[in-house]
Structure 1
Amino acid sequence: MTADIVRSGVELELAARVVELVREIAGPAADAEVMVRHDAEALTRFANSAIHQNVAEATTTIRLRLHLDGRTASSSTTVIEPAGLRGLVERTVTAVRLSPPDTTWPGLTPPTPLHGHAGYHGSGPRSGLDFGFDEATARATPAERAERVRDFVRAAEGLETAGYCRTAYTSAAFANSAGQAVEGRTAEAAMDGIARLAGADGVARLAGGRIADLDGAVLGARAAAKARAAQDPVELPPGKYEVVLEPEAVADLLDNFATFGFNGRAFAQKQSFAELEADQFDPAVTIVDEPLGSREEPAPGLPFDSEGTPRESLVLVRDGVTKAVAHDRASAADAGTTSTGHASPASRSWGPMASHMRLEAAPSSTESPLPPAAAASPIAESARPLVARMRRGLLITDLWYTRVLDQKALIITGLTRNGVWLIEDGEITRPVSNMRFTQSYPQALSRGAVLGIGSESVLLPDRWSGTRYAAPALHLASWNLTGNASG
């Protein structure tokens, strides 16, 4: 269904047609950029250990941004017939003439080829269609998602379960009146589920570019092991604790770094902690935005942004030194630099944000490996070596309901979730009740504060937006826990 659209060039033809209509209706002086996206998402949800919903949606959206006589306006439509395209252009021309002057207009992206990536094996020009795309994921059926749900439920062995398995596909094209014309497509699969026993929850989630990589049985067993190990928790007093954060919790750090820290608009307005070329993190920390994916983890985004700027890997932090922030054309002009390919329909209002953040894992240890974990272990495999080295501290599975208290310092408050355990001499001794924390995320990863990083990154889905984070486990010297479950 959807894969045939991009092969026939329909999106790119539609984008070019809208550009021509702008020239016809508004004249050659108008700057126009057009993004045509076909998004198809399917979701299989389960609760009480049974599938209760299977939904699918497919929408083609055409978004036009027009700059004319020093003014800018945007509009969109889902009507792709000729009358709908003409109506889109006419509405936008009317709107632009009523808009206030736009002194921040950064101009159009010039004709620029797409970048390559590690997953490209051809010898010819790199098309946006070559970027790690998995046809089987794009065409996944309800039965394939249901198989993974069934395996998750069975692996939980009688515990109450709930969650979802989703697949998504996007094909898109961009064209502007300066001559830029690019196209691409991407597919993703993700699973997120909990197992519950006597009020205690365990979680397992995973994202990827291939539905074949989602093993419902492995995820279900992991969630169930956490729920069983979380029975009869004790309360600990508030204070600063040494912690191991599992990848699910680390993903929240990356999410807030992307939204508030490495945001080019926040940086230009001096609302971000980021200081370029400053030692703001421990030397063990390297953070990269990887929109094109990799050969090992082909879960890419589109190879261009909503302004038609080609995307490529962007090193945000290297060896503890902040090297870059994400920019669209407007924030780049404010900062006196160039766009990094992070424009979105909302970026002029909310700022450009990285959406494929990776905290680089540590090199594999040369020490003797730990024996394989028991199936009932609540400790994620990637966190086990870090836990084994901890004398006394906490293992934290997940963070949620996180909110910013101080954007400049990126002080966050939130709650632990889905399993906390007291670790003594490298072993779990007791489950711990959920606790509130108040912590500066950059400070938690500052020089000397990172005691270890796991040797494997786990690709995790964002809870809301489809953004992906590649996160290893983290061993941190201090995490500020400010309250417990009873208050």
Structure 2
Amino acid sequence: MSASSELEIAGRVVELVRRLAGPDAQAEAVVTRTDLALTRFANSFIHQNVAESGVTVRLRVHVDGRTASGGGSLVDPDGLRALVERTLTAARLCPVDPAWPGLTAPSPVPPGTAPDEATGHADPDERAARVRAFVDAAEGLETAGFCRTSYRSGAFANSAGHSAQGRSAEAAMDGIARTGGSDGVARLCADRLADLDGAVLGARAAAKARAAADPVELPPGRYEVVLEPAAVADLLQNLAWYGFNGKRYAERQSFAELGAAQFDPAVSLVDDPLHSSTLPYDLEGTGRGPLTLVDAGVTRAVVHDRRSGAQAGTGSTGHGMPGAATFGPIPHNLRLLPAPTGDGATDGATHAGTRGNDPTDRLPAVAGGVTGAVADPDTAELVAGMERGLLVSDFWYTRVLDPKSLVITGLTRNGVWLVEDGVPTRAVRDFRFTESYPRALGPGAVRGLGRRSVRQPDRMDGSWWDAPPLRLAAWNFTGGASG
């Protein structure tokens, strides 16, 4: 199915609504073809290779002041007519919708980034080759993870005469290497499968796993930290879902205060879907593009779909999505901009601050440090500037305790190391933490950013989090391995 045929199907759905409900009915249709493929491995061998290809049709109608949505996967005439009929029936049973924002008017939609066709149509052997390289590079350590590819082509049409179409492709790899009692992780998301080097990722995961062996336990407390991109991705995801969500902002459930310097001047956050190969329009047909949410520490915007944008008086920012009416619109392609080229990864004049409340006495140092704990030069430079603190690879199982201040609790995983005089000296057992993410990134709290971002995959293709490593003045660890 080509993009032109998807546009044709969307137009047929809109015309069916007009014929069955009359010329005053408002309708919008989104047709998307998706090709997803996943190669999964565990115990250092591939145990699952799956692929699916399908077409989805989403329809939203507004009839006699009432709104309803429906979806289906049958694109023959009978299937499309059944979708329209049941959605119209649902609309007649719905309460009146006084906040209906209307349809997207005809407007330009950016062309988006041309997708890599080779990625979209990669075969299992190509993914398996990267898995094999990952496993071989781990040199005998047990490995597990996945390599996935996706391809989407789609179109939008509504009864106001607006239409849009686009295509996208993505590849991602996420794997761990494991010793008897420690893990190391490596993740990467890219527009092209060719940009995923399984050997590089496998070697990195294995080096981190070996460096995390024989950890010591440290007491809870506030430690200065360097967070690697995998951990920073968790910050971005929670900031996106709970902070820059226009519906939560309108309900006063978000920390965001537009125009306020809520973050350190080193922090600039941009939702930038077209930084990668992504469909250039949202579920409502609004064109997508970069939106600055935080500029040099100052909160500038939250994201909106048409409904929340109309209520805020600002209009949509291109963030219409399934479930937005309930949970709210969310930025799914958030970038923490790295340090400008030529700037130091750490800058004592810009990021000066006091050391965190050190809860430990100095442990005997390991000569030469822990080889393999630091994954890249950016992280190494941030670590080198830290007198005493922790290097953290990854967060997981994070849950919101207070959405307004965005206090999060969660666990570290895949490697934590004590840093002394700029050198990782000991692997450390995992911590539980409880921290307000905006406060941890607040004025004076950011002591350094890496110069190069690493795009981290989300659970769903099309979403990703792009960040450099990050050095923070303090992070609140509230429990150790013993409780």
TM-score (norm 2): 0.93
Per-residue Cα deviation, 1:90-142 (whole angstroms, up to 9, x for no partner): 11111111111111111000001113xxxxxxxxxxxx4x5231111111110
Q: The residue matched to 2:14 in structure 1 has which SS?
A: helix
- 2:123 matches 1:138: no
- 2:233 matches 1:251: yes
Partner of 1:319: 296
> What CA distance in whole angstroms lies between the structure 1 residues aligned with 2:197 and 2:135?
12
State the Cα distance separating 1:368 from its structure 2 match.
11
Q: The residue matched to 1:350 in structure 2 has which SS?
A: coil
- 2:2 matches 1:5: yes
- 2:187 matches 1:208: no
Residue in structure 2 matching 1:84, options 62, 79, 86: 79
Does the C-alpha gap of structure 1 residues 111 and 274 become closer, same or farther in structure 2, counting only changes over 3 Å?
same
State the Cα distance separating 1:451 from its structure 2 match.
0.3
Residue in structure 1 matching 2:147, options 165, 186, 189: 165
Q: Which runs of 5+ in 2 are unaligned?
A: 347-368
Partner of 1:70: 65
State the Cα distance separating 1:377 from its structure 2 match.
2.1
For the aligned residues, what is the CA RMSD?
Answer: 1.6
Is the contact between residue 345 and residue 382 of structure 2 (CA under 8 Å) also seen in structure 1?
A: no
Does the C-alpha gap of structure 1 residues 310 and 398 become closer, same or farther in structure 2, counting only changes over 3 Å?
same
Partner of 1:15: 10
Does the C-alpha gap of structure 1 residues 366 and 317 become closer, same or farther in structure 2, counting only changes over 3 Å?
closer
> What CA distance in whole angstroms lies between the structure 2 residues aligned with 1:486 and 1:383?
29
Partner of 1:458: 454
Partner of 1:309: 286
> What CA distance in whole angstroms lies between the structure 2 residues aligned with 1:348 and 1:40?
27
Partner of 2:138: 156
> What CA distance in whole angstroms lies between the structure 2 residues aligned with 1:463 and 1:359?
19
Match for 2:115: what amino acid?
A: F
Is the contact between residue 373 and residue 424 of structure 2 (CA under 8 Å) also seen in structure 1?
A: no
Partner of 1:337: 314
- 2:168 matches 1:186: yes
- 2:396 matches 1:419: no
> What CA distance in whole angstroms lies between the structure 2 residues aligned with 1:10 and 1:388?
56
Per-residue Cα deviation, 1:175-202 (whole angstroms, up to 9, x for no partner): 0000111000100000000000012000
Q: The residue matched to 1:312 in structure 2 has which SS?
A: coil
State the Cα distance separating 1:27 from its structure 2 match.
0.4
Per-residue Cα deviation, 1:374-411 (whole angstroms, up to 9, x for no partner): 99622121311100100000000000000000000000
State the Cα distance separating 1:364 from its structure 2 match.
3.0
State the Cα distance separating 1:345 from its structure 2 match.
1.6
Partner of 2:385: 389
Per-residue Cα deviation, 1:326-346 (whole angstroms, up to 9, x for no partner): 100011111111100000121
Partner of 1:121: none
Does the C-alpha gap of structure 1 residues 169 and 465 become closer, same or farther in structure 2, counting only changes over 3 Å?
closer
Superposition map of 1:269-418 within 5 A: 269-293=251-275, 299-365=276-342, 377-381=372-376, 382-418=378-414
Match for 1:50: what amino acid?
A: F
Partner of 1:94: 89
Does the C-alpha gap of structure 1 residues 114 and 59 become closer, same or farther in structure 2, counting only changes over 3 Å?
same
Match for 2:286: what amino acid?
A: T
Match for 1:253: what amino acid?
A: L
State the Cα distance separating 1:367 from its structure 2 match.
6.2
> What CA distance in whole angstroms lies between the structure 2 residues aligned with 1:425 and 1:98?
68
Partner of 1:124: none
TM-score (norm 1): 0.93
> What CA distance in whole angstroms lies between the structure 1 residues aligned with 2:448 and 2:28?
46
Match for 1:397: what amino acid?
A: S
Does the C-alpha gap of structure 1 residues 156 and 355 become closer, same or farther in structure 2, counting only changes over 3 Å?
same
State the Cα distance separating 1:438 from its structure 2 match.
0.2
Is the contact between residue 225 and residue 375 of structure 1 (CA under 8 Å) also seen in structure 2?
A: no
Match for 1:312: what amino acid?
A: G
Partner of 1:120: none
Partner of 1:482: 478
Does the C-alpha gap of structure 1 residues 273 and 361 become closer, same or farther in structure 2, counting only changes over 3 Å?
same
Is the contact between residue 345 and residue 449 of structure 2 (CA under 8 Å) also seen in structure 1?
A: no
Match for 1:272: what amino acid?
A: S
Superposition map of 1:48-63 within 5 A: 48-63=43-58
State the Cα distance separating 1:39 from its structure 2 match.
1.1
State the Cα distance separating 1:170 from its structure 2 match.
0.8
Q: The residue matched to 1:303 in structure 2 has which SS?
A: coil
> What CA distance in whole angstroms lies between the structure 1 residues aligned with 2:87 and 2:228?
48
> What CA distance in whole angstroms lies between the structure 1 residues aligned with 2:263 and 2:288?
25
Is the contact between residue 332 and residue 339 of structure 1 (CA under 8 Å) also seen in structure 2?
A: yes
Does the C-alpha gap of structure 1 residues 67 and 420 become closer, same or farther in structure 2, counting only changes over 3 Å?
same
State the Cα distance separating 1:254 from its structure 2 match.
0.3
Does the C-alpha gap of structure 1 residues 410 and 465 become closer, same or farther in structure 2, counting only changes over 3 Å?
farther
> What CA distance in whole angstroms lies between the structure 2 residues aligned with 1:356 and 1:30?
34
> What CA distance in whole angstroms lies between the structure 1 residues aligned with 2:201 and 2:163?
41
Does the C-alpha gap of structure 1 residues 368 and 338 become closer, same or farther in structure 2, counting only changes over 3 Å?
closer
Is the contact between residue 30 and residue 156 of structure 2 (CA under 8 Å) also seen in structure 1?
A: yes
State the Cα distance separating 1:300 from its structure 2 match.
2.6
Query: Structure 1: which 4+ aligned runs deviate by more than 4 Å?
Result: 365-369
Is the contact between residue 222 and residue 375 of structure 1 (CA under 8 Å) also seen in structure 2?
A: no
State the Cα distance separating 1:58 from its structure 2 match.
1.0
State the Cα distance separating 1:156 from its structure 2 match.
0.2
> What CA distance in whole angstroms lies between the structure 1 residues aligned with 2:419 and 2:340?
24
Per-residue Cα deviation, 1:36-75 (whole angstroms, up to 9, x for no partner): 0111110000000000100001110101100011100111
State the Cα distance separating 1:220 from its structure 2 match.
0.2
State the Cα distance separating 1:427 from its structure 2 match.
0.4
Residue in structure 1 matching 2:36, options 41, 57, 72: 41
The number of aligned residues is 461
Is the contact between residue 148 and residue 217 of structure 1 (CA under 8 Å) also seen in structure 2?
A: yes
Q: Which runs of 5+ in 1 are unaligned?
A: 116-127, 294-298
